[in-house]
Amino acid sequence: MRAAILTSPDHSHPPKLELVDTLDPPVPSPGQVLIKVDATSITPAEYTWPATWTDRAGEPRERPIVLGHDLSGVIHSLALGDSTTFQPGDAVYALTDFHRNGAQAEYAVANLSELARRPRNLDPASAAGVPLAALTAYQALVEHGDVREGMRVLVHGGAGGVGMFAVQMAKRFGARVLATASAEKVGFVKSIGADEVVDYRMERFEDVVGKVDVVVDTAGGETLRRSYSVVVPGGVLVTVETEAVDMGLVDVKMADKLGIQVKTFIVRGDGRQLEKITDMIEEGHVKVFVDRVFPLKRAMEAVEYGEGKNKGIGKTIIKLMHD
């Protein structure tokens, strides 16, 4: 099969990819399916993650390594003996295990527990932009923030990959949604349902938003540090920013003093939650935005674009079909 394989010796920047057409398709184990991939998305910095380079035991992963854990495709075959409601030919999508090879390839394996029905109103390429970002937003709001109707929720980075899902889902859950964004994206964030949007370069959000029940932070750094003060006692500050812990910004002592909780987590694939996201997309409560679509043969360019500063609103997609 054709695939873009990671040829960099380590996680130094920029990552190097090479297109090959000689790989054998992966073989699904019990509990897994083989998927003919339609599309995948670019997740910035994926090439730096420990899971890209080592297995669960911490040993170096077998080469070749294939990136791309957002997967949109059609089930090709099930593992022998598995019984499931999914059948060959079903259009599905998933966030797949970070320790396994991903979907920058014609075929990829997914766990049955990761799979969900692909939304009928999304084309296969757009669906590839959903699982990782939308599950992150869902897990932040539902599992960690316990967001309910009538709560006030502040989303930092409301126009970003995760933030745009968080804004739309929080609205769907009946929250009053406040968000931060740069000036040129304020209109977009309002258009997807935010009740108030603060231009974070012009105003200090803590001077504008008042107190909130939940903060979903995708920006980290000073934004996260300053967010403790806007959470009501009993409320939750959830950050998904990857470096927050290393930078000492997940400050449990400070949170205790304020009577709030501070949390962080790494998103995981979850087919049941993704089915709920499918429903929200099909019901029109959550819209999906794609920035640019590249063919697999331009995977290197797609990664450079998706990692870069000049990307627009929505995900960068690699499309396998009609390549």
Ligand X SMILES: NC(=O)c1ccc[n+]([C@@H]2O[C@H](COP(=O)([O-])OP(=O)(O)OC[C@H]3O[C@@H](n4cnc5c(N)ncnc54)[C@H](OP(=O)(O)O)[C@@H]3O)[C@@H](O)[C@H]2O)c1
Interface positions with ligand X (CB under 6 A): 45, 132-133, 136, 156-157, 159-163, 180-182, 185, 200, 218-219, 223, 240-242, 265-267
Bridge partners (DSSP) of residue 237 are 215, 262
Least CB distance to ligand X at residue 220 (A): 6
What is the layout of strands, in order, in the sheet containing 212-217?
196-199, 176-181, 152-156, 212-217, 231-239, 261-264
Provide the residue type at 228 as one letter. Answer: Y
Q: Which of 199, 192, 134, 131 is nearest to 167 (CA)?
A: 192
Amino acid at 110: A
Of 28 and 193, the one with the shorter C-beta distance to ligand X is: 193
* Shortest reach from residue 183's CB to ligand X, in Å: 8
Is residue 144 within 8 A of residue 263, CB to CB? The reply is yes
Instruction: Give the residue with the Cβ less far from ligand X, 173 or 205.
Output: 205
Residue nearest to ligand X (CB): 160
Shortest Å distance, C-beta 160 to ligand X: 2
Torsion of CA 241, 214, 316, 275, to 10 degrees: 120
Q: Are 40 and 104 in contact (CB under 8 A)?
A: yes
CB of 95 to ligand X, least distance (A): 10
d(CA 11, CA 7): 10
- Comparing CB distances to ligand X, the nearer of 62 and 246 is 246
Q: Smallest gap, in angstroms, from Cβ of residue 30 to ligand X?
A: 27
CB of 227 to ligand X, least distance (A): 10
Closer to ligand X by Cβ: residue 160 or 235: 160
Q: How far apart are CA 281 and CA 155, in angstroms?
A: 20
Contact assessment for residue 241 and residue 215, using Cβ atoms and an 8 Å cutoff: no
94 or 159: CB nearest ligand X: 159
Cβ closest to ligand X, residue 162 vs residue 277:
162
